[in-house]
Amino acid sequence: MEIKCQTQEAIDNASHSVRSKLMASDEPRILIVCGENSITERLNLILGEAGLSSECVKTITAGCEFAKTGRFQVVVATPFLGDGSWRRLVDIATHYDLGFVVVLLAGSFNFDQRAEAFEDGVFDVLDALRDLPKVAETAKRALWAAYLNGSGPCPGEASPPKAA
């Protein structure tokens, strides 16, 4: 299975043209922001098997640029990468009123960090080591939340999935 990952150079070359012609997608879209190829591969596989379309980038900066395009309803991100933290993604969703939701895949968040993430507007925090199988169900719930916030097309199910 081929992974759609962008290098920083490709992002720099395409970011202006992407911003200038926002494409309205007929299907909900998920952006994965993760620097670890093994996790990215598993996420793409899990989401693809659930029939969900996703793209990935490897840095917070690239994730922010892609998120600003308005093409994504859900951003699944690891909390900290070399160039920043998840807070930048939440700030962009709020500042630009894009309506996308952020799901964090954290390996070592304690209770206080989780509470802080929820207070700051994160949709959900999953354990990167144990909760990867739950990503598809969480993404479906997040797509409904984004849709109800006015972001993107209807996820296509008769009603939102129930929380597990």
CATH number at residue 78: 3.40.50.2300
Higher pLDDT, 7 or 45: 45
- Is 33 within a domain? yes
Q: What is the pLDDT of residue 38?
A: 92
CB 83 within 8 A of CB 60: yes
State the pLDDT at residue 151. 76
The Cα–Cα gap between 50 and 65 comes to 26
Please give the tally of structural domains in the chain.
1
| Six token digits for residue 104 | 């964090």
What pLDDT does 80 receive? 87
* 69 within domain boundaries: yes
What average pLDDT does range 83-96 have in this prediction? 90
Residue 112 lies in a domain: yes
- The answer to whether 106 touches 113, Cβ cutoff 8 Å, is yes
86 assigned to some structural domain: yes
Q: pLDDT confidence of 108, banded at 50, 70, 90?
A: confident
Instruction: Indicate the pLDDT class of residue 9, thresholds 50, 70 and 90.
Output: low
User: What are 33-58's pLDDT values in tens digits?
Assistant: 999 999 999 999 999 999 999 999 99
In a domain? residue 10: no
pTM of the model: 0.78
pLDDT, position 140: 93
Residue 113 in domain: yes
Average pLDDT over residues 122-148: 91
User: Alpha-carbon distance 36 to 69, whole Å?
Assistant: 24
Q: Is residue 74 part of a domain?
A: yes
To the nearest whole number, what is the mean pLDDT of the chain?
A: 82
**Residue 52 within a domain:** yes
For residue 96, give its domain range: 27-148
Average pLDDT score over residue span 71-97 = 91
Q: 20-34, 65-79, 99-113, 121-135: lowest mean pLDDT where?
A: 20-34
